[in-house]
């Protein structure tokens, strides 16, 4: 199903590109969405994907082009929407919860797929709207159910704090407190280097190289998850304690050009 979505994504990008080059007009989302039944006639395998999932693919293309036009008008580096390579399309969305996708106890019911056992780590609150399935680089599958719910604000607080991020310490607060830098990448750097050396020795296109690449991906994923979890915990603690939080305005992109410190800066997120 992901590969069919990838094919439709590329086909839609190509169609919009050709329409502009040949007719000097923009093919909007509604036009590309109306082409789906015609494409199904030529490519029957598209029928194996729920119609709303396919419509969402064309919407993603439309959003990519809107972002491109917005950057062009702003004078920024536009970055024309690119085609997706084989195996590089990793998510699909069911836009309407209940009709084609829903959670039933410990099962996820998906149209065109069936019942899938899941680990529901958090109960769904509010009114569910969409269901997005995503595949990680290591082959893990995640489901995100977005829902409308009423926010519960924290109690008002006049306490304020300034945060100075750094490398020796992850952050130093204006009251003198310091948050240690966990250096997750540095911890796994040797294991990553060893896995990458083994990967480089395998011949391209072989099953052994595919397995080695998965090992490298798992190490990168582990580092990223630890880093994200740490950042979320620390930010949650600051939000719980203070009503006003001030950060220095840093040019991270420029700082990463310093090759002596780039690895440490990226590791500190």
**Quick count: other Cβ atoms within 10 Å of Cβ 147?**
12
- Would you say 28 and 65 are in contact if contact means Cβ atoms under 8 Å apart? no
Instruction: Output the pLDDT for position 146.
Output: 95
DSSP E strands: which ranges in 68-126? 91-94, 101-104, 107-110, 114-117
Does residue 110 have a pLDDT over 90? yes
Take residue 38 and report the two structure tokens written for it. 């015609």
- The model's pLDDT over 172-230, given as tens digits with 9 standing for 90+, comes to 999 999 999 899 998 899 999 999 999 999 999 899 999 999 999 999 999 999 999 99
Using the predicted structure, report yes or no on whether residue 18 has a pLDDT greater than 90.
Answer: yes
User: Which residue reads 């919407």 in tokens?
Assistant: 59
pLDDT greater than 90 at residue 260: no
Mean pLDDT of the chain: 92
75: confidence class by pLDDT, cuts 50, 70, 90: confident
Averaged pLDDT for residues 237-256: 89
Mean pLDDT of 230-242: 93
Which residues are 254's β-sheet partners? Answer: none
Predicted pLDDT of residue 2? 94
Q: What is the mean pLDDT of residues 9-26?
A: 94
Of the chain, the percentage scoring pLDDT greater than 70 comes to 100
Helices (H), the chain: 2-23, 29-34, 36-42, 51-74, 184-201, 207-241, 252-255, 262-267
Q: What is the pLDDT of residue 253?
A: 83
| CA torsion through residues 87, 88, 91, 92, sign | negative
Q: How far apart are CA 250 and CA 193, in angstroms?
A: 30
Q: What is the mean pLDDT of residues 250-268?
A: 84
């Amino acid at each position: 199903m992901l590969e069919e979505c990838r094919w439709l994504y590329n086909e839609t990008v190509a169609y919009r590109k050709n329409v502009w080059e040949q007719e000097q007009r923009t093919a909007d989302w509604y036009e590309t969405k109306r082409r789906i039944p015609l494409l199904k006639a030529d490519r029957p395998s598209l029928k194996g994907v729920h119609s709303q999932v396919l419509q969402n693919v064309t919407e993603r293309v439309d959003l990519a082009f809107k972002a491109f036009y917005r950057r062009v008008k702003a004078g920024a580096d536009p970055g024309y929407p690119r085609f997706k390579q084989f195996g590089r399309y990793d998510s699909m969305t069911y836009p309407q919860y209940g009709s084609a996708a829903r959670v039933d106890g410990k099962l996820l019911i998906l149209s065109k797929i069936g019942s899938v056992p899941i680990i529901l780590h958090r109960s769904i609150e509010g009114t569910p709207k969409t269901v997005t399935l995503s595949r990680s680089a290591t082959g893990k599958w995640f489901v995100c159910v977005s829902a409308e719910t009423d926010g519960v604000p924290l109690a008002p607080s006049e306490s304020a704090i300034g945060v100075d991020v750094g490398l020796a310490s992850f952050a130093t607060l204006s009251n003198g407190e310091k948050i240690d830098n966990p250096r997750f990448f540095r911890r796994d750097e040797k294991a990553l280097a060893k896995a990458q050396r083994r990967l480089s020795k395998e011949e391209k296109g072989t099953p052994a190289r595919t397995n080695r690449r998965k090992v490298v991906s798992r190490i990168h994923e582990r580092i990223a998850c630890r880093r994200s979890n740490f950042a979320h915990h620390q930010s949650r603690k600051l939000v719980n304690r203070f009503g006003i939080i001030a950060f220095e305005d840093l040019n991270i992109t420029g700082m990463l050009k310093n090759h002596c410190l780039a690895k440490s800066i990226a590791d500190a997120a």
